[in-house]
Amino acid sequence: MTEEDVTRKRVREILTEFKDHQGALLIALLHIQYELGYTPEFAVEDASAILGFSQPEVWGVLSFYSDFKIGKQGDHFIDICVDGPCHIGGAPGVRRALEEAALDESNKFEVRAISCPGICAKAPVVAVNMRYHGDMTPDKALELAAKLD
């Protein structure tokens, strides 16, 4: 049995616990989110089949509430400011380098664009697991990413 098979089995077990409860979609999806740390995309199809909601209704709940993370997330997060000073300072090149590296790292880290953290004098800025680093270059960013375990 693959990891995805095990996860899907657990998702179906959780959904089945809420099968005969009126209006249980939100709470069932929250249970999945809390247990797994994310909501697998196949949960939409499974919730629709088990709980009797349409797939657009399930997607509507998942996309309306910002707490839901759809799909497995990276083990670490590298946020890069994409606002004016960071953009001018070279953030697009840093972002490209990190995104290319993330493709090769299989969920080791996820690159996210953020808005200004307020340290423009150090632009461009990245945050590795919410620790900020300034005066970033593509090479420096890749060095930070390589240190993640």
pLDDT tens, 28-78?
999 998 898 889 999 999 999 999 999 999 999 999 987 788 887 777 889
pLDDT tens, 137-149?
999 999 999 998 7
pLDDT tens, 91-116?
999 999 999 998 876 668 888 888 89
The superfamily (CATH) of domain 76-146 is Glutaredoxin (3.40.30.10)
State the residue for tokens 């620790």: 131
Q: What is the pLDDT of residue 83?
A: 94
Residue 118 neighbours by CB under 8 Å, 6+ apart: none
Q: What is the pLDDT of residue 38?
A: 87
Alpha helices in 2-128, H assignment, sequence order: 3-17, 25-36, 42-51, 55-64, 84-89, 91-104
Give yes or no for a cis peptide into 124 (omega within 30° of 0).
yes
107 compared with 133, residue with greater pLDDT: 133
Overall pTM > 0.95: no
Q: What is the pLDDT of residue 105?
A: 67
